[in-house]
Structure 1
Amino acid sequence: MNAVLGRRGEDVACSWLEQQGLVVLSRNWRCPEGELDVIATDGATLVVCEVKSRTDTSRGDPLEAVDQPKLDRLRRATARWLCEHHVGWVPIRYDVIALEWPPEGQVRLRHVRGVM
Structure 2
Amino acid sequence: MLSAAFIFVDGTLDEEFFRLDSQIEKAAKATDGYLGVERWVEPDGKKRNSTYYWRDDAALKAFANNSTHLEAKRQYQKWYDGFHVVISRIEKTYGDGALETFLPDSRAKFRQ
- TM-score surpassing 0.5? no
| Bigger Rg over Cα | 2
- TM-score relative to the length of structure 1: 0.35
Bigger RCO of structures 1 and 2 (CA < 8 A, at least 6 apart): 2
